[in-house]
Amino acid sequence: MKKNNIFIKECILKALLQLMEEKDFKDISITEITKKAGVSRMAYYRNYYYKEDILNNYMTELLQKYQCIRDEIVKKYPNDKYQTMLQVFEFFKANEQFVLGLEKSNLSNIIQNRINEYIHQIYQTNDVVSKYDAIIFGGALYNTGKYWLMNGKKENIVEITKIFVARMFPESIKKD
């Protein structure tokens, strides 16, 4: 049953993302999603209440996958901001359709909010200054990645990573 439910969620997500390429998110109906996904409305409502829930659920899955990648990078390259940020931009690149689709639909807040929550969770920020630092960092990270994708990735991934690290972590840049 669990595998079937995962498959249903994947079909619903794929259908929604395809529909988002064709029309505005606000104009997409549940009926269109279920028809394109080949699932019943009952199957849809067993998993989701709002259309935004599909996107939030997918964002959670993406962040879980990213966390596994991040854990490996941190083990392999402890305290290496460049390697960590390189993986972030690889992640943006791999999820370009999703990021740009949400931006087109004026739903980029889904990603931004989840990135902010993720950063708070990683760094367990409790004092007010640290919370603002996390929000500032999350905003810079998301906006840089989004802008890079929207501009057609004119800079290669190494260049955009170096630009970001130089601005956000100048102390980590090795001086010759």
Q: Judge if 163 and 139 occupy the same domain.
A: yes
Q: Judge if 66 and 123 occupy the same domain.
A: yes
Q: Judge if 140 and 59 occupy the same domain.
A: yes
CATH value at residue 135: 1.10.357
Query: 106 CB contacts (<8 Å, ≥6 apart)?
Result: 25
CATH value at residue 37: 1.10.10.60
- Given a cut of 90, whether residue 119 has pLDDT beyond it is no
Q: Which of 49, 68, 88 is the last residue of a domain?
A: 49
Q: Judge if 31 and 102 occupy the same domain.
A: no
Q: Judge if 39 and 60 occupy the same domain.
A: no
pLDDT tens digit string along 40-63? 999 999 999 999 999 999 999 999
Q: Rounded to whole angstroms, how far apart are CA atoms 170 and 164?
A: 9
Q: Judge if 38 and 64 occupy the same domain.
A: no
Where do we find the tokens 């997500």? 13
Q: Judge if 157 and 76 occupy the same domain.
A: yes
Q: Judge if 64 and 21 occupy the same domain.
A: no
Rg, the chain, Cα only: 18
Torsion-angle region of 144 (φ positive above 0: left; ψ -120 to 50: alpha; else: beta): alpha
Q: Judge if 60 and 19 occupy the same domain.
A: no
Q: Which domain holds residue 6?
A: 1-49
Q: Judge if 28 and 78 occupy the same domain.
A: no
Tokens, residue 78: 């402890």
The confidence score (pLDDT) of residue 125 equals: 63
Query: What number of residues does the chain have?
Result: 176
pLDDT tens digit string along 126-150? 666 677 888 899 999 999 999 999 9
Please give the model's pTM, rounded to 2 decimal places.
0.83
pLDDT tens digit string along 58-110? 999 999 999 899 899 989 998 899 999 999 999 999 999 899 989 988 999 99
Q: Judge if 18 and 65 occupy the same domain.
A: no
Q: Judge if 141 and 71 occupy the same domain.
A: yes
Number of domains, the chain: 2
